[in-house]
């Protein structure tokens, strides 16, 4: 019961923050919208900052869980890495006008916290990259000297994707194709051989 109540408060706060922005949302708004009352709200969260942190933690955990599930569905290092990169990039694209823009707006006056929250996802992604790369080098799937460049390459690709998302003249299909081609290009480079999709395209 207590966990359900807490979850309800977090979800209501998330919706209000998304719709109104954090600065325009009060604790009273959250209490009223959740039908739980101020006393109940303050039992779980002493300040708006506390519930704000809980919302961000919940959202970042959701993103990390999605990425981990995509990677776990693959068996080989090459496929795991491709799933990781595609999942990360597509989450950025799919959430561009929801979660990502919401984060940008509510963090606009709190750069330190914005950096911390972004790191919550990034840290886990880089842990997974290290695990996959280590496995891929050991199995002979990846070239060691090239694989070690992967973190910075992925970072730049993500930033490029973030920029492309803001370009209204680009369609969802065009961005999706760019993401797939970029990921294949990077994986081809660290493995020393082309993906099947690239081979098929070259032969067509």
- Quick: pLDDT tens for 86-110: 887 776 666 554 445 445 544 444 5
Specify the pLDDT at position 199: 46
Higher pLDDT among residues 101 and 147, named by residue: 147
- Cβ neighbours of residue 161 closer than 8 Å, sequence gap 6 or more: 89, 92, 93, 175, 178, 179
Per-position DSSP letters for 93-126, written without gaps between them:
HHTIIIIIHHHHHHTTT-HHHHHHHHHHHHHHHH
As its CATH architecture, domain 59-193 has Orthogonal Bundle (1.10)
**CATH 1.10.10.60 domain locations along the chain:** 1-46
Structural fold of domain 1-46: Arc Repressor Mutant, subunit A (1.10.10)
Q: Is the pLDDT of residue 123 over 90?
A: no
Q: Is the pLDDT of residue 114 over 80?
A: no
């Amino acid at each position: 019961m207590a966990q359900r109540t807490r979850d309800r408060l977090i979800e209501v706060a998330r919706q209000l923050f998304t719709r109104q922005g954090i600065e325009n949302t009060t604790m009273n708004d959250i209490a009223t919208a959740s039908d739980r009352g101020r006393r109940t709200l303050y039992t779980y969260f002493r300040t708006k900052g506390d519930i704000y942190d809980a919302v961000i933690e919940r959202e970042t955990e959701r993103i990390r869980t999605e990425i981990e599930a995509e990677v776990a569905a693959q068996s080989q290092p090459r496929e795991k890495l491709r799933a990781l990169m595609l999942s990360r990039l597509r989450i950025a694209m799919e959430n561009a006008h929801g979660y990502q823009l919401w984060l940008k707006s509510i963090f606009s006056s709190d750069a330190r916290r914005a950096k911390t929250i972004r790191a919550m996802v990034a840290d886990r992604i880089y842990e997974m990259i290290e695990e996959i790369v280590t496995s891929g080098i050991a199995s002979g799937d990846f070239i060691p000297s090239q694989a070690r460049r992967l973190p910075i390459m992925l970072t730049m690709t993500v930033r490029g994707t973030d920029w492309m998302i803001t370009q209204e003249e680009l369609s969802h299909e065009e961005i999706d194709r760019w993401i797939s081609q970029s990921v294949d290009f990077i994986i081809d480079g660290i493995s020393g051989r082309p993906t099947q999709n690239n081979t098929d395209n070259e032969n067509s």
